[in-house]
């Protein structure tokens, strides 16, 4: 079946195709309304060596780096993603979801703090709450180990929470899936009906004429009887 034949079938069975396309449009619009647009804001922080460890560098923490800072960043990120931290942040007013991880291709203890939600203003506010909570947890870890203030690892904000940007990829994927599935099912219904109509019972052959393709034994017998009756005196 070529494209021209497909087009002819679609025109001939328009009364099946059109309702299917209308239903697909309604479902696509429903998905568009039911799945809200999500917004995402990200900030970047880094861990700095203690003021005590930077004495030899005239107090400049960016000149004093240690591998242990990256390990501490990894442990802090895991804690901030825990269920306990989620409960604390929710109590503080954070809405939506958050994720903390070591920055991709980082050359040091840099961390990405990401917040995702449906309200841009709330997402931006939640980004600030997450940064403050991360610094608070860092101090609590060290206080629990009786680390003196001058020996504590510190946190600095490199990039503050950025303006929330819409995340449309997932929503667009759902819309495409619903539209494509509806169109395919509409075509399947069209060609199913077409095949049923074409596969109807063949017309009975004329007496004495050739048998139609696929004729049954009963049809052949009827043809024989008819031919004999016609030749009787």
The CATH number for 51's domain is 3.30.70.1130
pLDDT one-digit tens code per residue, 75-127:
999 999 999 999 999 999 999 999 999 999 888 899 999 999 999 999 999 99
What is the pLDDT averaged over residues 31-57? 91
Tell me: do 180 and 123 sit in the same domain: no
HSE-up of residue 134 (Cα within 13 Å, Cβ side): 33
Query: Would you list the DSSP string of 196-207?
Result: HHHTSPPPPPPT
Backbone angles phi, psi at 229, to 5 degrees: -65, -35
Residue 171 has a pLDDT of: 86
Tell me: do 29 and 141 sit in the same domain: no
Assigned domain for 78 exists = yes
Tell me: do 8 and 45 sit in the same domain: no
Residue 125 has a pLDDT of: 96
Which of 21-25, 50-54, 111-115, 213-217 shows the lowest per-residue confidence on average (mean pLDDT)? 213-217
Final residue belonging to a domain, choices 167, 183, 216? 167
Tell me: do 66 and 5 sit in the same domain: no
Residue 57 has a pLDDT of: 83
Number of domains in the chain: 2
Assigned domain for 230 exists = no
Assigned domain for 29 exists = yes
Tell me: do 130 and 178 sit in the same domain: no
Tell me: do 160 and 58 sit in the same domain: yes
Question: Checking phi first, is residue 155 left (phi over 0); if not, alpha (psi -120 to 50) or beta?
Answer: beta
Report the candidate in 118, 121, 126, 114 with the shortest Cα–Cα distance to residue 88.
126
Tell me: do 48 and 65 sit in the same domain: yes
Structure confidence at residue 64 as a pLDDT band (50, 70, 90): confident
In which domain, by residue range, is 17 found? 1-35+174-191
Tell me: do 15 and 92 sit in the same domain: no
Helix axes 14-34, 3-12, angle to 10 degrees: 90
Structure confidence at residue 73 as a pLDDT band (50, 70, 90): very high
Tell me: do 45 and 135 sit in the same domain: yes
Tell me: do 74 and 17 sit in the same domain: no
Q: What is the mean pLDDT of the chain?
A: 85
Top-confidence residue, 64 or 113 = 113
Tell me: do 47 and 30 sit in the same domain: no
What is the pLDDT averaged over residues 14-39? 91
Output the pTM of the full model: 0.71
Query: Under a CB-based contact definition with an 8 Å cutoff, are residues 118 and 36 in contact?
Result: yes
What is the pLDDT averaged over residues 182-208? 76
| Statement: residue 231 has pLDDT above 60 | no
Tell me: do 44 and 94 sit in the same domain: yes
């Amino acid at each position: 079946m070529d494209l021209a034949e497909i087009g002819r079938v679609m025109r001939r069975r328009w009364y099946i195709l059109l309702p299917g396309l209308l239903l697909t449009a309604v479902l696509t619009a429903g998905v568009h309304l039911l799945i809200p647009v999500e917004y995402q804001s990200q900030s970047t922080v880094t861990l700095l060596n203690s003021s005590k460890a930077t004495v030899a560098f005239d107090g400049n923490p960016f000149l004093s780096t240690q591998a242990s800072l990256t390990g501490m960043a990894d442990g802090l990120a895991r804690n901030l993603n825990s269920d306990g931290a989620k409960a604390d942040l929710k109590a503080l007013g954070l809405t939506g979801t958050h994720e903390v991880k070591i920055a991709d291709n980082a050359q040091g203890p840099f961390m990405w703090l990401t917040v995702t939600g449906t309200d841009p203003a709330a997402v931006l506010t939640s980004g600030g709450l997450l940064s403050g909570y991360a610094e608070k947890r860092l101090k609590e870890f060290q206080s629990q180990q009786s680390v003196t203030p001058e020996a504590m690892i510190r946190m600095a904000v490199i990039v503050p929470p950025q303006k929330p940007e819409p995340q449309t990829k997932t929503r667009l994927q759902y819309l495409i899936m619903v539209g494509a599935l509806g169109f395919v099912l509409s075509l399947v219904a069209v060609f199913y009906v077409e095949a049923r109509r074409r596969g109807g019972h063949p017309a009975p052959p004329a007496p004495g004429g050739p048998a139609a393709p696929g004729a049954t034994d009963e049809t052949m017998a009827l043809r024989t009887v008819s031919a004999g009756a016609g030749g009787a005196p």
